[in-house]
Structure 1
Amino acid sequence: MAAEKPYDYDIVPDVEVLEDEMAMNGSMDKSGEKVDRTAATLDDAMLLSGFGMYNICHMLMSGVILLGMIMQSLALGYILPAAQCDLELTLQQRGWLSAIPFLAIILTSYFWGWLADTQGRRPVMLFSMLISAIFSAFASFAPDVISFGVLVFMSAIFMSGSSAVVYTYLGEFNNLRHRDKMVAFGSSFVGIGTVILPCVSWLILPLEFAYPIPFLGIDYRPWRLLVVACAIPFALGTVLLMFAPESPKFLFATGQYDTALNVVKRIYFRNTKMAEDTFPVKSLIVENHMTKTSNVTGARAIWASMKEQTVPLFQRPLLPWTALTCFVQFGIFATTNGFYVWFPSILNSLANHEGGETKICDVLDAGRDAVSNGTMICDDTIHTSTFERSIYIGLVFSSMYIIVGFLVDYVGKKPILVVILGFTGVSGICAHLAYNQQLAVVLFAVFQMSGACIGLMNAVAVELFPTKFRAMAICLSMMMGRVGSMVGSNLIGLFLEVNCGAGFYLFGSIIIINSLFCLTLPNKKRIPHKKIVVESTQNETHEPV
């Protein structure tokens, strides 16, 4: 998997050096007056815009979108056990329903990636989040398992539009110096979602109400309200995004140079509280690349555009990084989301277990044998300790994201990925071997911490791929991650039926292999500030060489 790094994006110029050179980047006209001819690359302009309140607010808005994505993706882990009596669900049907959101994302991520790279990040997220929230509201009124599955599928199709694009959108609003940190902090909302989801479920599911809706033939019960509650972050994110601009990287890559500069000036104004006309950059340096035009329209034009966005990802020098990011995301999603879908059921079985110390799989096997030997009575209640343990584990999960956010600037992405993935993979294997139930739950929780690396892998992709292909590359890697989620949730459901321990061994080993693959990532290169010379001819802006 080793390959040479196609672009060197980790060279971060010193801001003071840039400001000094911008101050000297004027010239004298014939009358002796200084004429302001300052120009800079977009990356240098982003550095000069500073870091402050705008970046933090933008990160929080992106976090709300990520919160909606994770809550809608994982909510079925709490909804289906509570809905199994109303919808008459079997264990196999629960497994397939849990995989529906991931299947929808798999089928549509490619399209959304192309759309985001050609039409813009902001309009894609605005449209997709709004429609996803509407379909989620409709799903809460589904009278049977088929209609519920179809409406959840439609909601997930549009959820896919923002699930990967938001990482690109977040990364492109931060300069090279703070990008990794802000993507990591934004990704912490995925961990926060694993705390909020059981909290909201604990607040709603124990309620005892059943409002009959005769023309649908249903009783509106708490689990239906939970479906709507999990769509609220998307509705809030849609409102917030209406007040946000398009990514300056996308604007610049599509030739809207003045608009891109205006966005950077707005960031500068919000961060420094200084007037926009005091921003030292007056124009952006533009690459003199010839752009081919085509008269082809319609479906052929769309196909040609998608091909243009995709083929370079599977050619050198980008092919090794496409393969690596896709494989690592596959393993992380298969483990984290695959187990999390069954997490409430596993914790519920442990809470209801009566007996001495034993392994997790022994408890699950005993519960399955008891059902097969007796009369099965539909029980859709969830034990209180299930919510409590889920919240504790979610707190640890979100703490890991925040810790990673603080460490990434000092340690770097590569060491963090290698250490976390290696440690969590070993913990997953040990969770199956532990006889003490509390220790097993702790190790199982640590096993889930591999999900904290999803944001880091997206931060890696933001650096490895040029602007023109970045959203498509991240969407492809996230699509492979969703494939992993679907495969993982169904395989784990199968393993829980036939061989529980094999699931822990398999997915623990996959995470360890991911850790080894991350050793091939390029190290972060830093050049001393005094050696950096910013010239007007320096025009590298993350576009292909």
Structure 2
Amino acid sequence: KLIYLYINHFFTDVKKEKLPAPILTHTFEEAVSLTKIGKFHYTLLVVCGICFMAVMVEIMCVSIILPSMKCDLVASLTEQGILASSGFFGIVLSSHAMGFLADTCGRIRTLRMALILASISTIVSAFSVNIWMLIVFRFFTGFFISGGQACVFSLCGEFHGNKTRVKHVTLLSGFLPIALMYLPTAAIFVLPLRIDAMLFGMKFSSWRILLMVNSSLSLLALLGLFMLPETPKYVLVQGDHDGALEILRGIFVKNTGRPASDYPVKHIVMESNGANLSNIKGVKDALKLIWSQTVPLFYRERCLHTINICGIMFIVYGISQGIFMWFPTMLNEMVAKDGLGYNVCHILSNMETGADLTSDVCNGIIDTFPFMVIIFVGAAFAVFYLIFAFTIDYIGKKNLIISWLVIGGISVTMIRWTSNFYVVVILLTLTMSIGNCGGLVSTISMEFFPTNINAMGMCFIMMIGRLGAVFGSNFLGQLLFNFCDNVLWGLLGICVLLATMSWFLPERKHQKQKKVHEVNQ
């Protein structure tokens, strides 16, 4: 009886004791989703958008200044082609290194460094005394600005959960058409200025001022980056659990206006450790780390997908950037010969591609109508991106890409049979909009590559895309000027090839599981 009473007393006391409440753990996707969408994410979208605009303006401004620049620096068609592709070539050479820095130093630090150095290079390029100095410093601008090319997508995407990431990254891609509208708008106000000042023994023309005006976007983006923290996903992968949690609490407070104590997440499941520069003791260690981050892109389970993504990016940007780089020059020629009944191929095969010092442009008379057309192109691209953003969840990324490639293929086929200026502009716009598919492929890639190699993967595919842009800028223009009919038929075949390749793009795992579940039902 005494033993019974003792045991009963013991278990009664144990029941009365308050056991510590179990600590709830959340995955990162759950934790970031619980911050809600609000003021912070809208600020993030605007800042990332300005960064993306700065990148695109620095890359595309060469196409705007080509007609004026070739007069001052007396550039041949070959030199113009090299200049047009120099920025892209810089991006190709540095993308791998920038992806490595983004995965080791962080997205924010890499972006800040890239924007500062690109701005300096652009300002120096405005004082070029000959075509080769301009080519070299536009190369350096591309070399540095590539840090903002892919980092900005990782920066934007890693603050979102699966439900909102695709929509916001697609909206971020929509800043491309805003850049397309900003650039010709700035040109309308700056290029017609009659400036006869001599500086350091050279004529300081309006196209030089336009280059410096464009660099102001990079400086504005740089200021905006000081409003953002490092991505919590990157911080978590680096092993700093408390730091990631503190960032998420700050986002929750900004979005909801509630105190940080209301944020329900107390513990996040740690992800695999990423790379850190503190482990590097020399060049050999750095190269090993770069190699260790690159090889996983081509592991057996993702090798074919990586190759397919790279192939699509190369072709898509080769077509869109190759046409756009010569678009202002083509517009000037089409405006001059409008009403004569010539089709595009006849105009391109007979245009003056060198520096005609007797032309209106070289005499300081700038026709702003082509710039207004480019603004229209930018507005059309903005509509396309809005369509993408609000239909992507219903149609699906792959179906949207394939549909747009079909539209591009039809447009490129019809170009050779029309001579109406406005119809040609619309068809060329639809053809160049094939480049919009690059943003959708980037979204698929961002979901496909794991966090610890995400920025490296994004920079790698962007590097391949810009390599395509180098090829397109150098060769597509010259091929159009000499073999227009054959090139247009070739582009139709390429659109069919791209649509086929797009069918095999990867899907998120939960989408695959959902399809299997539906089939089983």
Q: Please give the TM-score of this superposition, normalised by the length of structure 2.
A: 0.90
Report what 1:56 is aligned to: 42
1:178-189 matches, within 5 Å, as 178-189=164-175
- The 2-side partners of 1:445 and 1:124 are apart by 34
Structure 2 equivalent of residue 377 of structure 1: 358
* Contact map agreement 1:192 1:398 (CA 8 A) in 2: yes
Correspondence 1:162-201 to 2 at 5 A: 162-201=148-187
* Corresponding residue SS for 2:254: helix
Q: Is the 8 A contact 1:397 1:448 kept in 2?
A: no
* Distance in structure 1 (CA, Å) of the matches to 2:74 and 2:274: 61
Q: Secondary structure at the match of 2:203?
A: strand
The residue that corresponds to 1:452 in the other structure is: 436
Distance 1:292 1:385 in 2: 52
CA distance in 2 between partners of 1:365 and 1:521 (Å):
38
Please, which of 379, 382, 395 is the counterpart of residue 398 of structure 1? 382
Higher helix share: 2
Aligned counterpart, 2:127: 141
Residues 51 and 271 in structure 1, CA contact (< 8 A), matched pair in contact too: yes
Which residue of structure 1 lines up, in the alignment, with residue 8 of structure 2? none
Q: 1:292 Cα deviation (Å)?
A: 12
Distance (Å, rounded) in 2 between the aligned partners of 1:359 and 1:30:
91
Report % sequence identity: 28
- Asked whether the 8 Å contact 1:431–1:441 carries over to 2, the reply is no
Change in CA separation of 1:102 and 1:40 when aligned onto 2, cut-off 3 Å:
same
Matched, 1:125 2:111: yes
Residue-by-residue CA offset, 1:206-232 (whole Å, 9 max, x unaligned): 11122221xx21122210011011111
Q: Could you say which residue in structure 1 is the equivalent of 2:326? A: 342
Which residue is equivalent to 1:14?
none
**Counterpart Cα distance in 2 of 1:142 and 1:292:** 39
Give the 3 Å change call, closer, same or farther, for CA 295–405 of structure 1 in structure 2: closer
State the shift of 1:293 in Å. Answer: 12
Aligned residue for 1:356, secondary structure, equals coil
Q: 2:458 aligns with which of 474, 483, 489?
A: 474
My pick for the range that moved more, 269-278 or 477-486, is 269-278
Which of residues 173, 190, 194 in structure 2 aligns to 1:204?
190
* Deviation per residue, 1:343-366 (Å, 9 max, x gap): 000111110005432311112223
Show the counterpart of 1:151.
137
Alignment of 1:75-86 (within 5 A): 75-86=61-72
Query: What is the root-mean-square deviation of aligned Cα atoms in Å?
Result: 2.5
Aligned partners of 2:347 and 2:100: how far apart in 1?
46
Residue 69 of structure 1, CA deviation: 0.7
1:317 aligns with 2:298: no
> What is the CA deviation profile of residues 436-481 of structure 1, one whole-angstrom value per residue up to 9, with x for unaligned ones?
3322221111111112222211110111110011111111110011
Is 56-65 or 497-506 further displaced after alignment? 497-506
* Equivalence for 2:6: none
**Structure 2 counterpart of 1:377, which letter?**
T
Shift of 1:503: 3.0
Q: Is the 8 A contact 1:426 1:512 kept in 2?
A: no
* Structure 1 residue aligned with 2:11: none
SS in 1 for 2:198: strand
Distance (Å, rounded) in 2 between the aligned partners of 1:427 and 1:468: 41
1:221 alignment partner in structure 2: 205
Q: Distance in 2 between matches of 1:401 and 1:295?
A: 42
TM-score, structure 1 normalization? 0.86
1:150, distance to aligned residue in structure 2 (A): 1.6
Q: Does 1:301 align with 2:285?
A: yes
Which ranges of structure 1 fall in alignment gaps of 5 or more residues? 1-27, 532-545
Contact 1:361 1:501 (C-alpha < 8 Å) held by counterparts = yes
Measured at CA, do residues 360 and 173 of structure 1 come closer, stay the same or move farther in structure 2, by a change above 3 Å?
A: same
> How do residues 392-431 of structure 1 correspond to structure 2 at under 5 angstroms?
392-431=376-415
Query: Aligned to 2:111, what secondary structure does the other structure show?
Result: helix
Distance 1:36 1:235, change over 3 A: farther
Q: Deviations over 1:245-288 (max 9, x none)?
A: 11111111111111111111122112211111110001112258
Distance 1:70 1:287 in 2: 33
- Partner of 1:520, secondary structure, is coil
Give the number of equivalent residue pairs: 497
Matches of 2:229 and 2:397 in 1, distance apart?
A: 28
Tell me the equivalent position of 2:33: 47
- Equivalent in the alignment of 1:13: none
Aligned residue type for 1:228:
M
8 Å Cα contact 2:415/2:427 also seen in 1: yes
Deviation at 1:422, TM superposition (A): 2.2
CA contact (8 A) 1:265 1:276 kept: yes
Partner in structure 2 of residue 12 of structure 1: none
Contact 2:116–2:219 (Cα < 8 Å) also in 1: yes
Q: Residues 315 and 495 from structure 1, CA distance in 2 versus in 1: closer, same or farther, beyond 3 angstroms? A: same
Query: Aligned with 1:177: secondary structure?
Result: helix
Q: Distance in 1 between matches of 2:341 and 2:212?
A: 39
Partner of 2:335: 351
Cα distance, 1:294–1:98 mapped onto 2, change above 3 Å:
closer
The alpha carbon displacement at 1:110 in A equals 0.6
Deviations 1:39-89 (A, max 9, x none): 211111011111122111101111001101111101000112111111111
Report matched runs for 1:11-90 at 5 Å: 31-32=17-18, 35=21, 37-90=23-76
CA distance in 1, matches of 2:153, 2:172: 8
2:280–2:286 CA contact under 8 A, matched in 1:
no
Cα gap change, 1:154 to 1:366, in 2 (>3 Å) = closer
Unpaired stretches in structure 2, ≥5 consecutive residues? 1-13
Kindly indicate whether the alpha-carbon contact (under 8 Å) linking 1:351 and 1:383 is maintained by their aligned counterparts in 2: no
Report the Cα distance in structure 2 between the residues aligned to 1:257 and 1:432, rounded to whole angstroms: 59
* Distance apart, 1:36 and its partner CA: 6.6
Is the Cα–Cα contact under 8 Å of residues 237 and 273 in structure 2 kept in the other structure?
no
Maintained 8 Å contact 2:237/2:274: no
Amino acid at match of 2:257: K
Q: Give the Cα separation in 1 of the matches to 2:402 and 2:134.
A: 40
3-state SS of 1:85 partner: helix
Query: Deviation at 1:294?
Result: 11
Alpha-carbon offset, residue 125 of structure 1: 0.4
> Alpha carbons of 1:40 and 1:120: their partners in 2 closer, same or farther (altered >3 Å)?
same
CA contact (8 A) 2:104 2:277 kept: no
Which has more radius of gyration? 2
Question: Does the CA-based 8 Å contact 1:346-1:364 persist in structure 2?
Answer: yes
Aligned-partner residue type, residue 102 of structure 1: F
Contact 2:233/2:451 (<8 A) preserved: yes
Q: Which residue of 2 aligns with 1:274?
A: 258
Taking the aligned partners of 2:312 and 2:497, their CA distance within structure 1 comes to 9
SS at match of 2:264: coil
Distance in 1, Cα, partners of 2:259 & 2:72: 60
Amino acid at match of 1:356: L
1:233 aligned partner, one-letter code: L
Displacement of 1:199 in angstroms is 0.9
- The answer to whether the Cα contact below 8 Å between 2:232 and 2:248 also exists between their aligned partners in 1 is yes
Distance change (3 Å), C-alpha of 1:169 and 1:292: closer
78, 87, 101: which is aligned to 1:115? 101
CA displacement at 1:290 relative to structure 2? 12
Match in the other structure for 2:10: none
